[in-house]
Amino acid sequence: MSQTQPPLPENALVVLIGASGAGKSTLARTWPASQVLSLDALRGTVSDDPGDQAATADAADVLKLILERRMARRLNTVVDSTNVEEAIRAELVMTAKKYGVPTVAVVVSTPLPLCLQRQQPRPANRRVPDDVVRRQHAAMTSSHQNLAREGFTQVLFAHDLNRLEPYLRHLSEARRSDLGLDGGDGLGHLLLVRRFFGEEILPMWRWNDDSDIAGGDRVGEIRLGQQHLTLALRLDVDGEGDIGFDIAVPCPFDPECSATAWTPAYSVTCLHRALTGDLDHRDDIVCDVHGYDDVDQEADDHAAGMDDDAEGRADLEEQYAAAVRE
């Protein structure tokens, strides 16, 4: 679908204006993350809690510092905050003009009922009181006609921006790079690592293609300092082509066993449980020497009458019978 898009300067200061719950952060994510200055995120940076309103002043100071440095480099920058107060907007515009950077005001004019509704599912520390949202929405509505006078180069409404196309283009390019379709090596099997355990694991993941401990399957390691985990990539888990990972754990059947034992790993939670020993006694562990659930197998053999010392047992039974006769 092709639509006429209001032209945005290649490098500008883009100021999002709207009440809490208007969708500013969703819109901001259509720009590269490095270009977005989020007041919520900076509150988290300075206080470990994005909802800590007491940290707003400190977060605003950090935002101003970063903005100053980015404007000096004339880099495209998006300010993701309510920005409904004229004094705040004036300071942003002044910083951009200092370095000759054009300014764009983007009004996110989401209806008030929807802004209020979006507060409900938020965590308590991120939920903005209804009266505050109403004030923000009223301030956003009344500010529109004054934005040009405040010095903004352009004044646009969010619904007039066609940000979906550049956003999907960025995602498509990243995906093609991951798959190696851009002429690069791509991530290969690391795509599976990311899918199972999350992208945060990738920097710590190393393939150990010289290892033969997984019966020919590819072995990977997650290592940080003295702690590490060993995993095997299974390309045919159930004989039907399903793919998964097993993680190495101690053999639960014999404390003296030095063989590798394996249990399935489905998510990063399994990695944590394996590292803390919480998976060491799962009932789906398979040891390379003892096989699957060796203890239960002995019980099953006994129940089926498969005694490995039938003569000895017969002798005990004869002694018991003799004792009864006496």
Using the predicted structure, report yes or no on whether residue 321 has a pLDDT greater than 70: no
| Token duo for residue 104 | 């764009």
The upper half-sphere exposure of residue 142, i.e. CA atoms within 13 Å in the direction of its Cβ, equals: 9
What b/e readout covers 115-147, taking b as 16+ CB neighbours within 10 angstroms? bbebbeeeeeeebbeeeebeebbebbeebeeeb
- Are the C-beta atoms of 48 and 140 separated by less than 8 Å? no
Tokens of 197: 């355990």
User: What span, in angstroms and rounded, lies between the C-alpha atoms of 156 and 159?
Assistant: 9
Q: Is the pLDDT of residue 97 over 50?
A: yes
The residue-averaged pLDDT of 130-144 equals 95
176 Cα distance to chain centroid: 20
At 51, the pLDDT band (50, 70, 90 cuts) reads confident
Q: How confident is the model at residue 204 (pLDDT cuts 50, 70, 90)?
A: very high
* Mean of per-residue pLDDT scores for the chain: 88
Amino acid at the residue 251: C
Q: In the predicted model, what is the mean pLDDT of residues 105-122?
A: 95
Distance CA 300, CA 151 (A): 83
According to the model, what pLDDT value does residue 1 have? 44
pLDDT band at 318 (very low <50, low <70, confident <90, very high): low
DSSP string, 193-224: HHHHH-GGGGGGEEE-TT--TTTTSEEEEEEE
261-270, 279-288, 305-314: range with lowest mean pLDDT: 305-314
Q: Read off the pLDDT band of 175 (50, 70, 90).
A: confident
pLDDT-based confidence at 302, cuts 50/70/90? very low
* pTM score of the predicted model: 0.73
Per residue in 1-35, pLDDT (tens digit) is 445 556 789 899 999 999 999 999 999 999 999 99
- How much is the pLDDT for 293? 62
Q: What is the mean pLDDT of residues 184-194?
A: 88
Q: For 221-246, give one letter per residue: b (16+ CB within 10 A) or e.
A: ebeeeeeebbbbbbeeeeeeeeebbb
Q: What is the mean pLDDT of residues 157-176?
A: 88
Q: Specify whether the CB–CB gap between 141 and 18 falls below 8 A.
A: no
Q: In 10 A of CB 106, how many CB atoms?
A: 28
Does 311 score more than 80 pLDDT?
no
Nearest to 126 by CA among 22, 36, 16, 21: 21
Domain 13-169 has CATH 1.10.3720.10: no
167 vs 222, residue with greater confidence: 222
Question: What are the residue boundaries of the structural domains of the chain, listed by start?
Answer: 13-169, 190-292
Give the model's confidence band at 299: pLDDT under 50 very low, under 70 low, under 90 confident, else very high.
very low
